[in-house]
């Protein structure tokens, strides 16, 4: 039985409802260690590690102009190739998280792992890094994480997160959500409530059509940009990330896709990641939550499921509405960083210095 099947997703149903204040319908190596040198340009234009259910890993890369790339894991070379490569690595010992160093014949090395952190109590706990910026740098992995709710973490999950070095947990949920399903985190993890929606939002009835549901999601995304509670919550997260030691910082909501999705979209944009990459990261929640969402919809009558589906999805229109609201309300993303997230030029430099390599 694979990881996603073990983690049942009837949880997905109330998760989406709580995003917009709706009543849920009744159902029928050590993280933070980065050996790559920031003094050298990293020649990789694309690279990714994907863990397979059989214990193997697929490693892909593109490094134009590089004749040879060595793929190293656990201190030894496990594969190699040229400027473009796709290799499958098998037989590695079990690990909390398997790291790979892509070492080019010239230029800086790149350290990557599979983005998903496999836990029994979550389906959407993943690394916020591993993306290339427009100027050729890379967002470090093993530093900042994003997730769905943490109330169902097992003792084994907690031990794993402690070994991975979870230092701070920013809970983006409402007071009611936090009370109904309190986080479980390793002892010593700093917990911060950063309520994006606030507790004064009105409670609406379930939309009557899919179009109404989609409009609610679009409006909710806009509120994450302009609402006072959202600005305060996200400012607290970004202040910590820019404060000099972001290693092991996590932010999460209930489904890990909307409030959390905007946090990651804003972070990656501030770091200089291209919009198409930001969108791909945002839409990836549809893949990670696919089985969870399917189970939730299967428990509803078909007509009701059709109305509810837009609230379980992430869609390009949702994220685009957030960026459009940034332009409307602030004129530019740079102005949003300063006026809404509270980041001055010095803090932005610190943020990039901490989270980028190459």
Quick check: 225 pLDDT over 80?
Answer: yes
pLDDT reading at 47 higher than 50: yes
Of 35-49, 152-166, 264-278, the range with the lowest mean pLDDT is: 35-49
- The pLDDT value recorded for residue 206 is 75
**Given this model, what pLDDT does residue 9 score?**
40
Give residue 6's pLDDT: 38
Among 272, 131, 258, 119, smallest CA distance to 185 is for 119
Q: What is the distance of C-alpha 271 from the center of its chain? A: 14
* Average pLDDT of the chain to the nearest whole number: 90
Confidence of residue 12 (pLDDT cuts 50, 70, 90): very low
Q: Taking residues 110-120, what's their average pLDDT? A: 98
Residue 17 has pLDDT above 90, yes or no: no
Is the pLDDT score of 27 beyond 60? no
DSSP structure class, residue 113: E
pLDDT of residue 110: 98
Instruction: State the pLDDT at residue 203.
Output: 52
Q: Is the pTM of this model over 0.95?
A: no
The neighbour count for residue 329, using CB atoms within 10 Å, is: 14
- The pLDDT assigned to 204 comes to 57
Predicted local distance difference test score (pLDDT) of residue 200: 76
Output the DSSP codes for 255-286: SSSSHHHHHHHHHHHHTT--HHHHHHHHHHHH
Q: What is the mean pLDDT of residues 327-341?
A: 97
CA-wise closest residue to 19 among 249, 151, 195: 195
Q: What share of the chain is helix, strand, coil (3-state, %, to 5)?
A: 40, 20, 45
Residue 20 has pLDDT above 50, yes or no: no
Token output for 131: 């993306």
Residues in Cβ contact with 188 at an 8 Å cutoff, skipping those fewer than 6 apart: 162
Distances (CA, A) of 257 to 28, 98, 124, 288: 25, 25, 8, 10
Chain segment 306-324, per-residue pLDDT in tens: 999 999 999 999 999 999 9
CA-to-CA distance for 326 and 323, rounded, in angstroms? 5
pLDDT at 33: 46
What digits encode the pLDDT tens for the residues 186-205?
A: 999 999 999 999 997 655 56
Torsion on CA atoms 108, 113, 115, 117, rounded to nearest 10: -150
For residues 200 and 156, the model is more confident at 156
Task: Determine the pLDDT at residue 26.
Answer: 43
The confidence score (pLDDT) of residue 183 equals 98
- pLDDT number for residue 40: 85
Of residues 36 and 358, more confidently modeled: 358
Q: Report the DSSP pairing between strands 69-73 and 99-104.
A: antiparallel
Kindly state the tokens that stand for 266. 């804003």
Coil vs helix vs strand at 312: helix
Contacts of 342 (CB under 8 A, 6+ apart): 235, 238, 239
Q: Is a pLDDT exceeding 90 seen at residue 11?
A: no
Predicted confidence (pLDDT) per residue in 129-152, tens digit:
999 999 999 999 999 999 999 999
- In the structure encoding, which two tokens stand for residue 293, read together? 């969402």
pLDDT at 349: 95
Q: Are 201 and 306 in contact (CB under 8 A)?
A: no
What pLDDT shows up at residue 299? Answer: 96
pLDDT confidence of residue 10 = 37
Q: What is the pLDDT of residues 335-350, one digit of tens each?
A: 999 999 999 999 999 9
Decide if pLDDT at 4 tops 70: no
Q: Which pair of structure tokens corresponds to residue 222? A: 């806009």
pLDDT at 37 over 80: no
| Per-residue buried b or exposed e for 237-256, using 16+ beta carbons within 10 Å of the residue's own CB | bbebbbeeebbbbbbbbbbb
Q: Which of 253, 267, 273, 284 is catalytic?
A: 253
As given in the structure block, the two tokens for residue 100 are 């790979």
- Per-residue model confidence (pLDDT) at position 32: 44
Q: How confident is the model at residue 212, as a pLDDT? A: 96
Active site residue 253: yes
């Amino acid at each position: 039985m694979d990881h996603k099947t073990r983690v049942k997703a009837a949880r997905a149903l109330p998760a989406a409802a709580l995003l917009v204040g709706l009543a849920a319908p009744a159902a029928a190596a050590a993280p933070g260690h980065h050996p790559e040198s920031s003094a050298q340009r990293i020649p990789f234009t694309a690279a990714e590690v994907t863990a397979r259910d059989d214990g193997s890993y697929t490693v892909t890369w593109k490094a134009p102009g590089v004749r040879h790339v060595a793929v190293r894991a656990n201190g030894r070379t496990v594969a190699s190739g040229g400027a473009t490569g796709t290799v499958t690595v098998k037989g590695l010992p079990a690990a909390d998280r398997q790291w790979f160093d892509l070492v080019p014949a010239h230029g800086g090395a790149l350290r990557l792992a599979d983005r998903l952190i496999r836990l029994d109590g979550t389906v959407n706990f993943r690394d916020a890094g591993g993306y290339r910026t427009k100027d050729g740098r890379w967002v470090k992995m093993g530093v900042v994480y994003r997730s769905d709710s943490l109330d169902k973490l097992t003792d084994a999950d907690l031990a794993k997160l402690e070994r991975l070095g979870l230092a701070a947990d920013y809970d983006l949920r409402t007071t009611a959500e936090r009370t109904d399903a309190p986080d479980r985190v390793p002892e010593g993890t700093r917990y911060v409530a950063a309520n994006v929606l606030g507790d004064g939002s009105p409670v609406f009835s379930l939309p009557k059509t899919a179009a109404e549901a989609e409009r609610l999601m679009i409006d909710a995304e806009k509120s994450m940009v302009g609402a006072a509670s959202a600005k305060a919550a996200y400012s607290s997260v970004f202040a910590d990330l820019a404060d000099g030691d972001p290693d092991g910082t996590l932010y999460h909501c209930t489904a890990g896709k909307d409030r959390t999705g905007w946090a990651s979209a804003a972070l990656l944009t501030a770091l200089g990641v291209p919009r198409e990459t930001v969108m791909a990261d945002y839409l990836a929640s549809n893949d990670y939550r696919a089985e969870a969402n399917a189970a939730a919809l299967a428990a509803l009558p078909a007509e009701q499921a059709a109305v509810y589906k837009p609230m379980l999805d992430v869609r390009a229109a949702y994220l685009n509405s957030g960026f459009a609201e940034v332009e409307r309300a602030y004129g530019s993303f740079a102005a949003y960083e300063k006026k809404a997230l509270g980041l001055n030029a010095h803090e932005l430099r610190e943020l990039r210095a901490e989270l980028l390599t190459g």
